[in-house]
């Protein structure tokens, strides 16, 4: 009477047994691994669940973090990557530290002196911002009104959609003209043409001579469009009613020359303000380049934190794979014994179970990748938030899932390969 072959040997062992494992075929081994996993579909799926959630979480969290970083960088650079912001700094006189509103160090003449005497400064403008209510017929809207000269449009990379900008003649005559941002135009005029119409800013009539192109790219990114720009001379006479400036906005000739421009501005203002050597500056200089570096550090840390938290799920998934592979080894001890009895070596058994754990983790990683992309897409549609998945993070997530499969599958595979044939065959 022929000896009964243990269950599973004919189906999953035949391809490799015929060659007595002298030359192990990788494709055959992978096929055997897939057949072994398919025999317990539900168990394999539940085992992969940890890896699916882990990879999906990593991809999803990274996409949110990187998307936020990319969106912020685009918004900042749209303001002019070579922009320089000069503001007055608080000073101490007679033991009393003055507040920001009481600082009168920056003058209109300082802005024009920068353009004249600093060779790395392309343009500069006085910058006065006030909050005002604008009215057109029966519609009204609260917005920021910026007083500046004609250079503000180049410095801020603003382009006109219709109409025109104001120029030096409107500056010199303190004309009551204005240029509207898209958000203001939409709320006051909707789809109607705004150029040539008269609006009121705190009851003062202004003629609309231009409308800016939209700069915001999403519903929560309209702050650069929610503005009204008027000549700074008009602003100082009608609204601000001061002879000093809130700030000066300048731009370097090239982004690479930003630091040289900052040094020139510092020397110029110290000279003009008669600041003695060893005395603190009565102004502060901030560049968009500094802001970009700061934002990159913050968003980079946030992305790393989110990725690390999500990475814990990958670790849990790896532990799940090790647990199920240990169970699988226990269930297939007689199969291991028969394979070793007909010529399989320890390395063949080790390789077989490593391939199974790797296939399990790889399938989980690929499914998790799909989950992460789906989550990222749904999140972007619901929140209107930009999401972005860098290609290298896709490779890292899938590669890490495979590494988890190999790492956590090694011990069960090693345990399977150390069985002696006689002991394995006696096992019931």
40 pLDDT above the threshold of 50: yes
Between 69 and 148, whose confidence is greater?
148
Out of 85-89, 122-126, 167-171, 230-234, which region has the weakest mean confidence (pLDDT)? 85-89
Between 40 and 266, whose confidence is greater?
266
Instruction: Place 197 in a pLDDT band, splitting at 50, 70 and 90.
Output: very high
Average pLDDT, the chain: 81
Between 348 and 109, whose confidence is greater?
109
pLDDT in tens, 387-399: 888 888 788 878 8
97 pLDDT above the threshold of 70: no
Pick from 308, 309, 320, 315: nearest CA to 48? 320
Q: What percentage of the chain exceeds 90 in pLDDT?
A: 32
127 pLDDT above the threshold of 80: yes
108 pLDDT above the threshold of 90: yes
Q: What does the pLDDT read at residue 71?
A: 74
Q: What does the pLDDT read at residue 20?
A: 43
Between 405 and 228, whose confidence is greater?
228
pLDDT in tens, 202-219: 889 999 999 999 886 544
Q: What is the mean pLDDT of residues 145-171?
A: 92
Q: What does the pLDDT read at residue 116?
A: 93
Q: What does the pLDDT read at residue 428?
A: 58
Is residue 62 within 8 Å of residue 390, measured between CB atoms? yes
Angle at 50 between CA 44 and CA 53, to 5 degrees: 120
Cα distance between residue 165 and residue 125, in whole Å: 15
101 pLDDT above the threshold of 60: no
Q: What does the pLDDT read at residue 384?
A: 75
Q: What percentage of the chain exceeds 70 in pLDDT?
A: 84
Q: pTM, whole model, 2 decimals? A: 0.63
Q: What is the mean pLDDT of residues 323-349?
A: 76
């Amino acid at each position: 009477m022929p000896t009964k072959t243990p269950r599973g040997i004919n189906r999953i062992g035949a391809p490799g047994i015929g060659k007595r494992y002298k030359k192990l075929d990788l494709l055959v081994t992978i096929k055997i691994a897939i057949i072994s996993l398919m025999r317990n579909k539900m168990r394999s799926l539940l085992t992969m669940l940890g890896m699916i959630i882990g990879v999906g979480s990593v991809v999803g969290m990274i996409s949110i973090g990187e998307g936020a970083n990319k969106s912020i960088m685009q918004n900042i650079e749209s303001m002019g990557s070579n922009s320089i912001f000069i503001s007055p700094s608080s000073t101490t006189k007679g033991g009393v530290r003055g507040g920001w509103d009481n600082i009168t160090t920056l003058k209109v003449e300082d802005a024009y002196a920068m353009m004249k005497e600093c060779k790395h400064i392309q343009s500069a403008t006085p910058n006065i911002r006030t909050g005002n209510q604008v009215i057109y017929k029966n519609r009204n809207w609260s917005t920021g009104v910026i007083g500046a000269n004609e250079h503000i449009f180049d410095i801020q990379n603003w382009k006109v959609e219709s109409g025109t900008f104001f120029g030096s003649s409107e500056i010199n005559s303190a004309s009551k003209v204005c240029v509207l941002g898209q958000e203001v135009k939409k709320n006051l005029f909707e789809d109607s043409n705004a150029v040539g119409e008269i609006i009121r800013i705190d009851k003062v009539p202004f003629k609309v001579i231009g409308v800016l192109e939209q700069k915001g790219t999403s519903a929560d990114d309209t702050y650069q469009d929610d503005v009204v720009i008027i000549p700074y001379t008009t602003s100082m006479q009608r609204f601000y009613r001061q002879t000093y400036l809130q700030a000066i906005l300048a731009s370097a000739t090239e982004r690479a020359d930003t630091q040289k421009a900052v040094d020139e501005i510092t020397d110029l203002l110290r000279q003009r303000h008669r600041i003695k050597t060893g005395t603190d500056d009565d102004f502060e200089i901030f560049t968009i380049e500094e802001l970009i570096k700061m934002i990159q550090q913050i968003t980079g840390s946030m992305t790393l934190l989110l990725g690390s938290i999500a990475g814990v799920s990958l670790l849990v998934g790896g532990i799940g794979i090790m647990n199920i592979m240990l169970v699988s080894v226990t269930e297939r001890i007689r199969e291991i014994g028969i394979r070793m009895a007909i010529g399989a070596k320890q390395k063949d058994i080790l390789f077989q179970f490593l391939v199974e754990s790797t296939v399990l983790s790889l399938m989980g990683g690929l499914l998790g990748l799909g989950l992460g992309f789906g989550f990222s897409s749904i999140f972007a549609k619901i929140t209107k938030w930009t999401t972005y998945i860098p290609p290298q993070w896709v490779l890292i997530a899938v590669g890490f899932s495979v590494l988890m499969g190999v790492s956590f599958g090694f011990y069960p595979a090693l345990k399977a390969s150390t069985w002696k044939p006689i002991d394995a065959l006696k096992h019931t």
